[in-house]
């Protein structure tokens, strides 16, 4: 039987999904509240993991061990690294990489996790395609594309840092949890997809734009995820 883990870093990113849950049972673990119930008839566990890669990794492991989820969806906001992605648009993951993994002094390329077969963690193709279809259905006016998520424990708000993420990693959006969720899902053999709405341009305007647009961006994602879980 399918059971879908849905992770958002912030309350804003999961509050709408939580409000739509039927029969929610709450389990506390590692400082996180796991809401288990159904969303449009689909069995789900919705959780706010907190910001950053450590919180995100712990959360995936708990979803795997305690709830035996069969799929993982990460929803939230991100900064755009692609001129084709404007504020309010949606990026659906093709893959995800840690931009702050740096073992270059030992001869590894940036982002490569030594001794791991994969460092550009591939999203499940079917989940990504279904997410794109759901987006077209519920957010017909929102522009969506598939691309690369780059993650690190940093809020990107400087043009030079943004340029580095584009030139080295060919990233389409930057955020702070996706690659960890991808990495954890990969290690546990669980198909995943990351769905991020753009809240800022990850440059010198990001500090101003982010608080203005995060709410609307998160709402686009929540609507998409609510439809997607019924299609999986």
CA torsion angle for 62, 18, 92, 61 (degrees, to 10)?
0
Print the binding letters for residues 203-232 with ligand ADE: x by CB under 6 A, - otherwise. ---x---x----------------------
Q: State whether the Cα torsion 89-95-98-103 is positive or negative.
A: negative
Active-site entry in 124, 200, 209, 227: 200
Contacting residue, 78, 112, 218, 222, with ligand ADE by CB under 6 A:
78
Asked if 149 interacts with ligand ADE (CB under 6 A), we say: no
**Is 13 a residue of the active site?**
yes
Does 175 participate in binding ligand ADE (rule CB under 6 A)?
yes
Check residue 174 for interaction with ligand ADE (CB under 6 A). Answer: yes
Whole-number minimum distance, CB 79 to ligand ADE, in Å? 3
Q: Which residues are catalytic?
A: 13, 200
Residues in contact with ligand ADE by CB under 6 A are 77-79, 155-157, 174-176, 199-200, 202, 206, 210
């Amino acid at each position: 039987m399918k059971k879908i883990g849905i992770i958002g870093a912030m309350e804003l990113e999961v509050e709408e999904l939580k409000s739509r849950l039927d029969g929610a049972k709450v389990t506390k673990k590692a400082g996180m509240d796991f809401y288990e119930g159904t969303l449009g008839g689909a069995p789900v566990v919705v959780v706010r993991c907190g910001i950053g890669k450590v919180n995100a990794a712990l959360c995936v492991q708990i979803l795997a061990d305690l709830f035996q989820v069969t799929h993982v969806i990460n929803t939230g906001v991100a900064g755009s690294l692609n001129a084709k992605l404007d504020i309010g648009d949606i990026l659906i993951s093709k893959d995800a990489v840690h931009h702050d993994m740096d073992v270059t002094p030992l001869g590894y390329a940036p982002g490569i996790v030594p001794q791991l077969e994969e460092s550009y963690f591939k999203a499940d193709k079917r989940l990504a395609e279904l997410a794109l279809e759901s987006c077209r259905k519920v957010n017909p006016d929102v522009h969506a594309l598939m691309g690369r998520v780059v993650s690190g424990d940093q809020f990107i708000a400087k043009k030079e840092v943004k340029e580095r993420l584009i030139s080295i990693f060919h990233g389409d959006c930057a955020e702070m949890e996706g690659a960890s969720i991808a990495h954890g899902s990969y290690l546990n053999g669980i198909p995943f997809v990351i769905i991020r709405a753009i809240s800022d341009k990850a440059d010198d305007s990001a500090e101003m734009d982010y608080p203005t647009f995060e709410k609307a961006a998160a709402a686009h994602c929540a609507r998409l995820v609510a439809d997607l879980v019924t299609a999986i």
